[in-house]
Structures are given as structure tokens and as C-alpha cells.
Amino acid sequence: MTTDNTTHFGFKQVAEDEKVKMVRGVFDSVASQYDIMNDLMSMGIHRVWKRVAVQLSNVREGDQVLDLAGGTGDLTTLFSKRIGKSGKVVLADINSEMLRTGRDRLINRGLTGVTYAQVNAECLPFEDNSFDCVCIAFGLRNVTDKDAALRSMYRVLKPGGRVIVLEFSHPTDKITEKIYDFYSFKLLPKIGKFVAKDEESYRYLAESIRMHPKQDVLKEMMLDAGLERCEYFNMSQGIVAVHRGYKF
């Protein structure tokens, strides 16, 4: 984020107070086709990435979990299986359309024991020390003030709890980087146009990935927010990374 009250929306510079509205517009547009597009964009591999993130969370039966930017509920479903009836998952998203889509999907699956909340990650409306795990998957790059969001996650985390950040990241080798750039900027917007009837939103999503902090930078941001023993795990040659940090 810049220091002149502007921030990036993809490759564009916009006023900070405008980004939330613009991101909301993107996800209002893609909510109904979000799951189909995820499968197409990643060739289904996103399901593996999410399972790895949940495994790295070390969530156990009875835990309290906050699934931030939970969207259509993939992570909430996986967490619910681990925490059992004695635990609780809060599926939270800033976008009402995404949250509604996720809620309807989980209700149709018969999943109970989930609480739903429309929240801004930068100022979470939960008490201190509320959750054993706070997870944000493919959502941090859309947050205007990432440092504020990480501090907010730290605040609501119980001592001994974990923050998990699953996010598109930066390839670890030049060949993968070139292939990924071609796919992201040439093919992805066209897939979005054909399937979701929205080329511009998927162009923004590709740009937002490139503007997201690199792995080591995000690790330092987590440390600055108060988290300890921060580490990251690259997947698919760094196209995606899981960051993990603890509160002690």
C-alpha cells in the first residue's frame, strides 16, 4: 500500500476508500460462477491446495475456527469435518453475494453448526482470543490494508492458535513464471469472458496476484503483526503458498 491514501486495484492506483467497493463489484459479478471458474482456472488443483492448508492448520476436534474470505465454503466444509460437533466454524466474507452463495451451498449439503458473518478483515468484530485458527484463503490479496488485517487476525487468535494464509504467490523458477504469466494475462481473462461473461474481473484477479507480496515479504509482515514461528510452504512451484504463524 502507498502512503498517499491510494492503493492498488490490480495494476491501477485507486483511492483507498474506493478499493473495497471495486473489489465488491468484482465478486458480486463472479459469485454465481466462482466454483466452476476455480476448477477451470486451476484444473481442479485448488482442492488439493485447500486440503494441504487445512492439514497445516493442525485443527482438531472442538476447535474454534474463523474462515475469513470463506466465499463458497470449501475450507469451512473441510474444517467442519475436523472439529466435529463440539467445535465451531465461522464462515466470514466481506462480500454479501459470496457469503450468500456459500451459506446456500452449505445448507444444501446439510452442513450444520456453521455461523455466518459479513466482516471486514481489517477490523474483525470478534473478541480478543476467540479462535484456535484463523484462515484466509485466496482473500488477503484483495484486502486494502493487509497489515491491519494481519494485526486483527492476531488479536482474535487464542494463545497457541495459528493464522493460515493460503494465497496465489510468486513462482520459484523463470520457466514456470513465463508460463504462468502467459496463462494469467492471455488465457484467464478469455476463460472468464466465455464462462462467467466477465473478462475484466478475471483480468483484475490476475493483476491482483502479481501485486501480492512475495513469500518472504508476507512472512515478515506476519512477524510484524505479532505472529511467531512464521513459515511458508510453496506448492506448484510457488504459484501458491501457505503461510503459517502462531500466537504465544
**117 located within any domain:** yes
Q: Does residue 129 contact residue 159 with C-beta atoms inside 8 Å? A: yes
Count: domains in the chain = 1
Q: What are the cell numbers at 108?
A: 444444501
What b/e string do you get for 117-145 counting C-beta neighbours within 10 Å, with b at 16 or more? eebbbbebebeeebbbbbbbbbbbbbbbb
Residue 7 CA to residue 1 CA, distance in Å, equals 5
In the numeric block, the cell 476436534 is attached to 61
Q: Could you give the CA distance from residue 8 to residue 28 in angstroms, rounded to a whole number?
A: 19
Q: List per-residue pLDDT tens for the chain, 248 residues long.
A: 445 677 766 566 767 767 666 666 666 666 566 666 667 677 789 999 999 999 999 999 999 999 999 988 999 999 999 999 999 999 999 988 889 989 999 999 889 889 999 999 999 999 999 999 999 999 999 898 999 999 999 999 999 999 999 999 999 999 999 999 998 888 888 877 877 677 787 788 788 888 899 999 999 999 999 999 999 999 999 999 999 999 99
**Torsion on CA atoms 138, 139, 145, 146, rounded to nearest 10:** -40
CA–CA dist 89, 79 (Å, integer): 7
Q: Is residue 178 part of a domain?
A: no
Structural domain contains residue 116: yes
The Cα 175–Cα 215 span in angstroms is 18
- Distance CA(197)–CA(206), nearest Å, equals 16
- Asked if residue 115 belongs to a domain, the reply is yes
**Can you tell me the distance from the alpha carbon of 126 to that of 160, in angstroms, rounded to the nearest whole number?**
18
57, 111, 205, 45 alpha-carbon torsion, rounded to 10°: 60
Q: Is 17 part of any domain?
A: no
Taking alpha carbons only, the member of 165, 168, 169, 166 closest to residue 157 is 165
Nearest to 28 by CA among 106, 108, 101, 92: 101
Q: Which residues contact 84 (CB under 8 A, 6 or more apart)?
A: 61, 62
Query: Nearest to residue 58, comparing CAs of 167, 166, 161?
Result: 161
- Which residues are CB-neighbours of 185 under 8 A, at least 6 positions away? 203, 206
Assign residue 228 the CATH number of its domain: 3.40.50.150
Residue 35, pLDDT score:
67
Residue 94 forms part of a structural domain:
yes
Residue 6 lies in a domain: no
Range of the domain at 156: 44-171+214-246
Residue at 183 is within a domain = no
pTM for this entry: 0.87
Distance CA 65, CA 44 (A): 25
CA distances from 5 to 2, 65, 108, 145, 225 (A): 7, 33, 42, 11, 21
Cell of 8: 492498488
